[in-house]
Amino acid sequence: MAFDLLIKNGTIVDGTGADRFHGDIAVANGKIVEVGKVSGSAARTIDASDLIVAPGFVDPHTHYDAQICWDDITTPSCWHGVTTVVMGNCGVGLAPCKPETREIAAWDLVNVEAIPFDVLSKGVTWDWETFPEYMDAAARRGSGLNLGFLAALTPFRHYVLGEESMEREATAAETTAIAGLLREAMQAGAFGWTSTNAAQHIGYHGRPLACRNASRNELKTYSNVLRDLGRGAIEIALTNEVSVVDDAEYELLDMLLTESQRPVTWLALLNRVDNPEAAQKTLARTAPLLARGGLPQTTCRPLIVQIDLRKPFMFANMACWNPAFNRPAEEQAAIYRDTGFRDRFRDALKTPNIFTGDWRLAIIHEVENPVLRPLLGRSVADVARERGKDPVDTFLDLALEDSLAMQFTYELFNSDESRIPELIKDPRTMIGLSDGGAHVDMFCDAGYATYLLGTWVREREVMTLEHAVKRITTEPAGLYGIEQRGRIAPGLAADFAIFDLTRVGSKKRGEMRNDLPGGGRRLVMPATGMEYTIVNGVPLFEHGRDTGARPGQVLRSGRA
C-alpha cells in the first residue's frame, strides 16, 4: 500500500502512559493507518532512528486570539512540538464584537493579557462580528497548527450590554440573550466558555473586566448551556490569592460544577515562597470538588516576569494602580511621582498577593539611559540600600530616571524548583498555563512542553517519559473532548512531535525580538531537540525550519 507519510524506526510513546516501543507509523489522508512494523511505500519517509515519536502536544491555556490574525504558524508554540492550541481563556477574547466595541475589546486584551494596543491596532483583522464568524475567519485564513476555541464571557456581555457590561449584572432578558449566544458558539464548535473571578483582571479604562460583573444567576444559566448540550468545559481564573481557594471561591467552583455537570478547570496552583504549603493545602481542601471534575492548572517552570511601568499589569489587583492604566507616559510619570500614590502602594504591599514586594527579587534587566547601565543585574533592594532610600521610592525613582523605559525581572512563583515535582506529578492537576500569545514582553512560557521533557524527564529524572507525554497530550485533550488527538493509534489524527531526548529542552527565560505588527517587541522561547512538528500528517517544522505548509485545522467540539 502507498502512504502519504511513513515514519520509520522511531521509539513510539503513544500518549496513553503505556511503555515506549520501537516501530513505524503510516499516515494517509491526515490519519494514522498503521502502527508497528509497516511495509509499503510512501510519498515521504522520515527516518526516526534514535528519536522519540510522540503525539503532538496539546496546549490547553493560550491567548492566541489576536495573534492568529498575523501569525499563521502560532509561534513559538509550534517550535516546541505543540500541534493544537486552545485559546479564549480567562474570560477575555475578541468575539463576538460589534464594530463600535472593537476598541473596548482591544483594551481588555491590553490590560488582562498585556498585549500592546498598537500591536492589536495594526494586527487584528476584524473580519467577523459573531463568534461563529470568528471561527470561520480563522479557517479561511489558514493555520499551521490546529486551533481550538473557548467562548470568553466578557465579549458576550459587551455584545449584549454594551459599556454597561463593565458596571452591572445582566437582567433576566439580557442573561437569556447571552446564553443564546453561548449556545450558538457551542453549536459552531466552541469547547466551552471561560471567565475570571480575579481582581487582577481589569478591562477598559481600569474598570472590572465585564465577566467579573456576572451575577451567580448569570453564571448558573451559562453553566446550564453546557449541561443541556452534554459537552464542553468551563475555564476560570478563580483565585485572588495565588494557590489559595477562599470560601466564596470554593462556593463558586462548587456551583459551576453542579450547574454545568461538566469539568471545570481553574487557575492556578503555583508554589509560593511566602506560603510554601498553600498549594498542597488547597489540593486537600478542594478534594471533594476535584473528585467531581474540578481541575487546577499548574506549570512545570519557574514563573519569571518582566515588569514595565508603562504597562503595569503586575499591579492590577491593587486599586491604587488603576489610574495608571491606559494613560500617556507623562500622566503615568506624574502618578508615580505623587507621594500619596507611593504611600498607598506601600500600604497595599502590607498584604501582598500577586506581587509580593520582595525587592531582592526585583532585578534591573534593561535600561535606555546609558547613565543607568552600571545598575544592570542589581536588585532594587541593593540599590535602595546604596541610596539610603525606601525600596518603593527607589523602584519608582529608577523607572522615572529612565523615562519609564526601565525593565525589571521578578521571580514570582515556583522559584523553589525542588517543590515543582509534587505539583506536576499529582494526577489532580493539569500541566499548562503557557499563556501563549499573552504578556508578550513580560514572560514566555510557551516552551513548557520541551522544558518538561528536558528538565524533569532527562536531567532530573523525576518523571518517566511516558508519564510526561501523557500529561501534555491525552490529559488536556481529554478535558475538552478532543478525542481524535493526543494519542498514537490507527484512525486518529496524524499529529506528532518527533524529538531527540538527549537534546530536547528550553531555557528558563526567552529572548526578546521585535517581530510583532509594527515592530512591537515580545519574548519568545526557542526550542532545542525538536526535530519535527507534524500536523495532520504534514510536516510543519523540520529541524527548526518552517516548511511553508499550513496543514492545521479549526477544531470543532464534537468533531475534534
Q: How confident is the model at residue 338 (pLDDT cuts 50, 70, 90)?
A: very high
149: helix, strand or coil: strand
Between the alpha carbon of residue 457 and those of residues 460, 472, 501, 505, the distances in Å are: 6, 13, 9, 10
321 and 445 together in one domain: no
CA distance 146 to 140: 13
Expressed as residue numbers, the domain containing 90 is: 56-302+414-482
205 and 279 together in one domain: yes
Looking at residue 96, its pLDDT comes to 98
Above 90 in pLDDT, residue 126?
yes
Please compute the mean of the pLDDT values over residues 99-126 and round it to a whole number.
Answer: 92
Cell of residue 354, nine digits: 500577586
CA distance 239 to 234: 15
CA distance 51 to 9: 8
Q: How confident is the model at residue 225 (pLDDT cuts 50, 70, 90)?
A: very high
Q: Tell me whether residue 490 is in a domain.
A: no
268 and 313 together in one domain: no
Looking at residue 560, its pLDDT comes to 52
Mean pLDDT of the chain: 95
Q: Tell me whether residue 507 is in a domain.
A: no
Three-state secondary structure readout of 188-221: HCCCEEEEECCCCCECHHHCECHHHHCCHHHHHH
464 and 363 together in one domain: no
91 and 201 together in one domain: yes
62: helix, strand or coil: strand
400 and 446 together in one domain: no
Asked if 516 and 478 count as a contact pair (C-beta separation under 8 A), the reply is: no
Q: State pTM to two decimals.
A: 0.90
258: helix, strand or coil: helix
298 and 311 together in one domain: no
Return the beta strands (E) in 218-375 as ranges.
233-237, 264-267, 294-298, 303-308, 362-366
Looking at residue 534, its pLDDT comes to 98
| Final residue belonging to a domain, choices 440, 455, 482 | 482
Nearest CA among 103, 289, 126, 275 for reference residue 203: 103
CATH number at residue 292: 3.20.20.140
| Final residue belonging to a domain, choices 358, 375, 410 | 410
Q: Tell me whether residue 232 is in a domain.
A: yes
Q: Tell me whether residue 546 is in a domain.
A: no
What is the number of residues in the chain? Answer: 560
Q: How confident is the model at residue 184 (pLDDT cuts 50, 70, 90)?
A: very high
171 and 235 together in one domain: yes
Task: Tally the domains of the chain.
Answer: 2
pLDDT digits (tens, 9 = 90+) for 343-357: 999 999 998 777 888
Looking at residue 5, its pLDDT comes to 98
Between the alpha carbon of residue 484 and those of residues 111, 264, 558, the distances in Å are: 35, 21, 10
Sort residue 536 into left (φ over 0), alpha (ψ -120 to 50) or beta.
left
Above 80 in pLDDT, residue 530?
yes
437 and 392 together in one domain: no
pLDDT digits (tens, 9 = 90+) for 495-508: 999 999 999 999 98
Please compute the mean of the pLDDT values over residues 365-383 and round it to a whole number.
Answer: 95
Looking at residue 444, its pLDDT comes to 84
Looking at residue 120, its pLDDT comes to 95
Q: How confident is the model at residue 316 (pLDDT cuts 50, 70, 90)?
A: confident
- Structural Rg of the chain based on CA atoms: 23
Asked if 286 and 278 count as a contact pair (C-beta separation under 8 A), the reply is: no
The DSSP code sequence of 283-307 is HHHTHHHHTTTEEEEE-SS-EEEEE
340 and 440 together in one domain: no
124 and 269 together in one domain: yes
Q: 339: exposed, middle or buried (C-beta count within 10 Å: 0-12, 13-18, 19+)?
A: exposed
pLDDT digits (tens, 9 = 90+) for 231-283: 999 999 999 888 999 999 999 999 999 999 999 999 999 998 888 999 999 99
List the 57-59 sheet strands across, edge first. Answer: 57-59, 82-87, 146-149
